[in-house]
């Protein structure tokens, strides 16, 4: 597993949420790139900073009305494409 910065982890999760809004599916898909602890911590941080919002018990959504998705760096494109 590659070591990513906190910003890279949160970017990966935001783009993964764009593909999979169900939290359970999202976590399963991301386990190949991040630890479950990193996934949960990043989701909590994104919710706390209002970049992501929880819609119901299992559904996550990027809060694009509040903030734009960050630019996807080249080194993260393969991870997002392979989810």
- Residue pair 72/80 in contact (Cβ under 8 Å)? The answer is yes
The helix or strand, by DSSP H or E, that contains position 41, with its residue range, turns out to be helix 36-48
How is the chain split into domains, by residue range?
A: 6-81
pLDDT digits (tens, 9 = 90+) for 39-73: 999 999 999 999 999 998 899 999 988 788 999 99
| pLDDT score of 1 | 61
pLDDT digits (tens, 9 = 90+) for 2-31: 789 999 999 999 999 999 999 999 999 999
| pLDDT score of 65 | 84
- Residue pair 22/57 in contact (Cβ under 8 Å)? The answer is no
For the entire predicted model, the pTM comes to 0.90
CATH of the domain spanning 6-81: 1.10.10
Q: Which two tokens stand for residue 57?
A: 């018990």
Rounded Cα distance, 11 and 65, in Å:
17
Q: Which two tokens stand for residue 80?
A: 């997002």
């Amino acid at each position: 597993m590659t070591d990513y910065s906190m910003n890279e982890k949160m970017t990966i999760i935001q783009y993964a949420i764009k593909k999979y809004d169900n939290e359970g599916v999202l976590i399963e898909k991301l386990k190949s790139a991040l630890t479950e602890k990193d996934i949960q911590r990043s989701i909590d941080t994104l919710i706390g900073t209002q970049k992501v919002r929880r819609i119901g018990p299992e559904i996550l959504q990027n809060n694009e009305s509040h903030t734009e998705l960050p630019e996807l760096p080249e080194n993260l494109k393969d991870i997002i494409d392979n989810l």
